Structure 1
Amino acid sequence: MASPSNDSPAVFLATVAANVVPLVGVFHLGWSAQTFAVVYAMELVVAVPFAGVKALFARRPPNYDELERPQEGNPLKPDEWGGVSAGPSDLNRRRGNVTVVDPLPPIYPRNVPFVLRAFGAAVALVGMFLFVLSRFIDVPATLADPIVAASAVTLIVSHVGVINREYFRKRRHETSTPRDVIGSAKNEAGVAVVVLWFAAAGGPTGALVAFVAVKLLAEWRGYRGGQSSDPDEAAGTLPPVAAPDAAPTAEIRPDRRAVRAAALWRGATSAIGGGPAYLLAWVGLTGGSAGAVAATVICFGLLPAGLGGLKAVEYALTHGTLAYQRRDDAVVAYDDLTGAVQWATPVDDLRDAELCEGELVDRACDTRTFSLTPSAGEYDRSVAHLREYVRAVEAFELPVETTAFGPFDRRVAGAAAAAGACGVAAVAGVAYYAPSVAAVAAGFGGPFGVVALRSAWRWALPAA
């Protein structure tokens, strides 16, 4: 039921007819409503990560004025919580692209945070759809039905075909922004979740009616949007970088071990943040014919691994491929992956440079991260995970007061770590005797534990 482009009235009417047929079959021909309900749910879920894949190739940068800046000091700030990168981070503003396969257009690293958002939305959808549908449908058994399994394969093949035909061959990736690409799929799925909650009282038939209604609404909006869209609307721009065209007199790279450790740490905390969605998915699977062990592996193993893995990749791309150079009188960040200068700041324009005291990995690996504040500019620059930090301060003439970390309260950090370890051990022990209680504790206790540990870490840091 994945639809092609709705540019023409004939295609739009054919798509409408294809979505009305299941309703006619259920009400007049005795077809299985629960089968179609699960298939529609699969389509909504599959469409979101496929939109994320499309976003990788979107050539136009996002509109940075519409992106919400993360709030420093907020334990729930969007760039570190729930697997979602919402603010204009260094990676969002990354210049350049990489060609992975010759027949395909290049991939833009700056779009990776939007892929993470799409995958995080898909995980949330899986949890909510399974939770609601499991009240009247044995979802695992329905998914094992040959018709549904064939429909899943057809959905994937159809999405691949539509992307190739409508996105690549018609070169729509050249006029697309990553935010717009994932926006329509996320909005459609979000509306479907809200409608499904109210329509669930009607059982499988009510769920099917809700899905079809949302699908038709989305098709209508897509058709109207395709008729009136302005390709130049709401596109952000990346101003050119004025970097000195001279050979670097000094070059310092981030420590690879520190970058990997920080990426894994960011990935782990991001994965834990999706606990409620994993719990909903676990309830949905165990409410049917799926065993508790299999449901636990899928919901508390595979889903967090995918979410955390993407977050780790995002962080590694943000910091791990840069080289910080001194060219003439400027500090320059050069990206080895894309072969492009990312930013350049004259040394005389550095108003402030601050050592980031709160970097756990830097303390463990004896590296340093500095936040640079230019006199003119929208946001601070980050020079991250340097092992040769003394040399960097001298070569880049950074106006930092000290490169030494201040002492932190080991008692608070130790108590928080001990409490976290005891919590994990308690959940593991309870899981043997009461899997349901352990699942609830992991789903809600994990995110709460991350917030608590993050707050404890800030308390342990030296006062500014």
Structure 2
Amino acid sequence: MTLRDRISSWTFVLGGATALLGANLLPLVGVVALGWSLWSLLVVYWVEAFSTVVLAAVKTLFAERGSPGLSGQIEPLHELREKRGGWKVREEWPPIYPRNVPFALSMLGVWSVTVLPLSVLYWLSAAPPTVVSLDLILGLGALVVAQVVDFVFEYIGTEEYTEVSAQEIVRTPAQLTVMLLSLGLFAAGDRTGGLLILVGVVLAKTAASLYRFYVEHLGTPLLGLGDRLVDDEDLSEPPPELDPPESEVQARVAVSATSVLLGSIWSIAFGFANRLGLGVLALTGLAIISREPLWITAGLFAIGVIVVARVLSYLFRYGTIEYQRRGDTLVAYDTLLDAPQWVVTVGPFTEFSVKNAIADRLLGTGTLTISGVESVDRDDVQLGPVTDIDRVVDTLDLPVRETERPERDPAVIGAASVLMLCFVAVPVGLFFTSRVSDAMAGALTIVFGPFLLLPVGVLLWAALSRI
């Protein structure tokens, strides 16, 4: 019997459905026999949704198949999506794939900046009469244990991770979050809830869980519900790992770690170009306006975490690469993951160009851009930064004739600097005028500052690129 037959067998499906049914109907015992209120159910389902999000984030790390990506969005640490290969924590465990980290952070980020703070504010303002009791704690533990057992024995034990992508796993937490918010609004309108209403909530939640389990394991939506609730877009691709050429390594070149580190500073801005980053900036801005030291410290700490994560992610993306010449092919090989990242055939029609990177201009290093690489989804890849670009061209025997960057242009540097100072002078001037209070100046800077960052960033790049 194949793995797919074993997973889809009626014995396995019925066993999993029975465990799921028992875990979901447990709150019904609390409602009927123990007198749970609607607020108690809300606590139970909030913990279940939170544990589902955390476990789903862990699941995404092991998902073997590729993910097309979130259209129109920049995932946190998005450059890790380009990584090939995985890393095993223990030999008997499946590998963790760095390319799935952005999806895990996306799920956790949505909860961190939306559901979690809204839940805290909602709970503080509503002041629900929830009593923590032993039966409530046991109910919470049963739901969490059921999910952990499902993760260990089904997802890992039956190697389900080999048949799903990280993007597919995102669906379940999103659906549970919608259900949780709907239940929260319902609880706000009825703080006590009659027995019939409470039983109906539990049965509706149980039916939704069973239907999701049925669709995931049998893949046959009933009455076309799957077409309405699930997007038709394919969220899974074949694993993106590459097989290295059979030729032996003839030459190899390492990257310049100093140049990679300096280049990571420019990439920090992308750490805030997503929901998590923007949410942290917004919450930090509100904390500054409120002048609460504790909240300001928490906001600055969160910003620091994002900055450090961006730098480490960039170093992991480019700083562990070794460029190898194997016969007529050039391979970017990750020495930490022990896996090739891209492979390109070197010939007279291979297009090389010099990248005008700011870090290279400041440190005298060099980076090449290679176009038309078929082993990756992007239009081009980069070779470098390396300490001596001319020596690398000779060592790897590359058909590159010109390695010079654009010459230094003082006129461009001066014009960009003057325009940049003009943009910066607007918010700074608010703090020196007597017509605007410091609090108002700070609020205006926080609200309109992000809109000024784009032109200032572009001008700064223009000046540094011709230094």
The verdict on how the C-alpha distance between 1:189 and 1:169 changes in structure 2, with shifts beyond 3 A counting, is same
Q: Which residue in 2 is equivalent to 1:227?
A: 217
- Return the structure number with greater relative CO, CA threshold 8 A, min gap 6: 1
SS at 1:111's partner residue?
helix
Q: Secondary structure at the residue paired with 1:409?
A: helix
User: Could you say which residue in structure 2 is the equivalent of 1:353?
Assistant: 352
Number of the residue aligned with 2:413: 409
Match of 2:456 in 1: 453
Query: When the two structures are superposed, what TM-score results if normalisation uses the length of structure 1?
Result: 0.70
Match of 2:323 in 1: 324
Deviations 1:109-130 (A, max 9, x none): 3323323323333323346634
Q: Kindly tell me: are residues 291 and 41 of structure 1, through their superposed partners in 2, closer, same or farther at Cα, counting changes over 3 Å?
A: farther
- In structure 1, C-alpha distance between the alignment counterparts of 2:443 and 2:277, rounded to whole Å: 9
Letter in 2 for 1:366: G
Alpha-carbon distance, 1:279 to partner: 6.6
Kindly provide the CA deviation profile for residues 243-288 of structure 1, in whole angstroms up to 9, marking residues without a partner as x: 2512222x222221232343454345414754552377679999xx
Deviation at 1:187, TM superposition (A): 4.1
- For the structure 1 residues 337 and 220, does the alpha-carbon distance in structure 2 shift closer, same or farther, using more than 3 Å as the test? same
Cα distance, 1:385–1:441 mapped onto 2, change above 3 Å: same
Question: How far apart, in 2, do the equivalents of 1:205 and 1:284 lie?
Answer: 34
8 Å CA contact 2:21–2:210 kept in 1: the answer is no
CA distance in 1 between counterparts of 2:373 and 2:178 reads 42
Separation in 1, partners of 2:127, 2:293 = 17
The separation in 1 between residues aligned to 2:207 and 2:458, in whole angstroms, is 44
Q: Distance in 1 between matches of 2:359 and 2:100?
A: 26
SS in 1 for 2:170: helix
Residues in 2 aligned to 1:202 and 1:121: alpha-carbon distance in whole angstroms:
25
Give the structure-2-normalised TM-score: 0.70
Alignment partners' CA distance in 2, 1:213 and 1:264: 52
Give the CA deviation at 1:372. 0.8
In the alignment, what sits opposite 1:119?
A: 108
Give the distance between the partners of 2:57 and 2:161, measured in 1 at CA: 13
Structure 1 Cα separation of the partners of residues 236 and 297 of structure 2: 42
Aligned equivalent of 1:430: none
Matched ranges for 1:35-434 at <5 A:
37=42, 40-62=45-67, 66-67=68-69, 78-79=73-74, 83=76, 85=78, 91-126=80-115, 129-130=118-119, 133=122, 136-137=125-126, 160=148, 162-189=150-177, 192-193=180-181, 195=182, 199=186, 202=189, 216=206, 218-229=208-219, 234-238=236-240, 240-241=242-243, 243-249=245-251, 251-267=252-268, 269-271=270-272, 274=276, 276-278=278-280, 292-298=292-298, 300-348=299-347, 351-357=350-356, 359-374=357-372, 376=374, 378-379=377-378, 380-394=380-394, 395-399=396-400, 401-406=402-407, 407=409, 408-413=412-417, 416=420
- The verdict on how the C-alpha distance between 1:420 and 1:229 changes in structure 2, with shifts beyond 3 A counting, is farther
RMSD: 5.0
Is the 8 Å Cα contact of residues 272 and 447 (structure 1) preserved in structure 2?
no
Decide whether the 8 Å contact of 2:390 with 2:403 is kept in 1. no
Of structures 1 and 2, the larger Rg is shown by 2
Q: CA deviation at 1:366?
A: 3.4
Q: For 1:136 and 1:329, how far apart are their aligned partners in 2?
A: 68
Would the aligned equivalents of 2:260 and 2:318 in 1 still touch at CA under 8 Å?
yes
Cα-to-partner distance string for 1:54-97 (whole Å, 9 max, x where unaligned): 222222333xxx3367xxxxxxx744xx6363xxx6x4353332
Give the partner amino acid of 2:126: I
Equivalents in 2 of 1:292, 1:150: separation in Å? Answer: 38
Answer with 361-370 or 168-177: which moved more.
361-370
Structure 1 residue 415, shift from structure 2 partner: 5.2
Listed as ranges, the gaps of 5+ residues in structure 2 are 1-12, 221-233, 432-436
Aligned residues: 425
Could you report, residue by residue, the CA deviation over 1:154-208 in whole angstroms, capped at 9, with x for unpaired residues?
A: 9877755543333223332233322222332234325645x378658627679x9
Aligned-residue offset at 1:51? 1.8
Q: Once the two structures are aligned, what percentage of the paired residues are identical?
A: 21
Helix, strand or coil at the partner of 2:64: coil
Measure the CA separation in 2 of the matches of 1:160 and 1:291.
42
C-alpha displacement of 1:453: 3.4
Q: 153-162 or 13-22, which moves further after superposition?
A: 153-162
How far apart, CA to CA, are the structure 2 residues paired with 1:295 and 1:142? Answer: 27
In 1, Cα distance between equivalents of 2:139 and 2:464: 54
**Contact 1:142–1:148 (CA under 8 A) maintained in structure 2:** no
The structure-2 alpha-carbon separation of the partners of 1:254 and 1:163, relative to structure 1 and needing over 3 Å to count, comes to same
Match in the other structure for 2:231 = none
Q: Which deviates the most, 274-283 or 336-345?
A: 274-283
CA shift in 2, pair 1:291/1:418, >3 Å:
closer
Deviation at 1:322, TM superposition (A): 0.7
Residue 212 of structure 1, CA deviation: 6.7
Are the equivalent residues in 1 in contact too, given 2:259–2:360 (CA < 8 A)? yes
- In structure 2, what is the Cα distance between the partners aligned to 1:436 and 1:39? 43
Cα distance change on mapping 1:418 and 1:281 into 2, 3 Å:
same
Question: Contact 1:58/1:178 (CA < 8 Å) preserved in 2?
Answer: yes
Instruction: Measure, in 2, the Cα distance between the counterparts of 1:212 and 1:190.
Output: 16
Counterpart Cα distance in 1 of 2:286 and 2:214: 36
AA matched with 1:12: L
Question: Letter of the aligned partner of 2:335 in structure 1?
Answer: D
Gaps of 5+ in 1: 70-76, 428-432
Change over 3 Å in CA distance of 1:219–1:262 after alignment to 2: farther
Matched-pair contact (CA < 8 Å) for 2:56–2:170: yes
Q: Give distance in 2, aligned partners of 1:203 and 1:424.
A: 50
Contact preservation (8 Å) 2:353, 2:369: yes
* Counterpart code for 1:225: V
Question: Counterparts of 1:437-448 in structure 2 under 5 Å?
Answer: 442=446, 444=447, 447-448=450-451
Following superposition, the deviation at residue 233 of structure 1 comes to 9.2
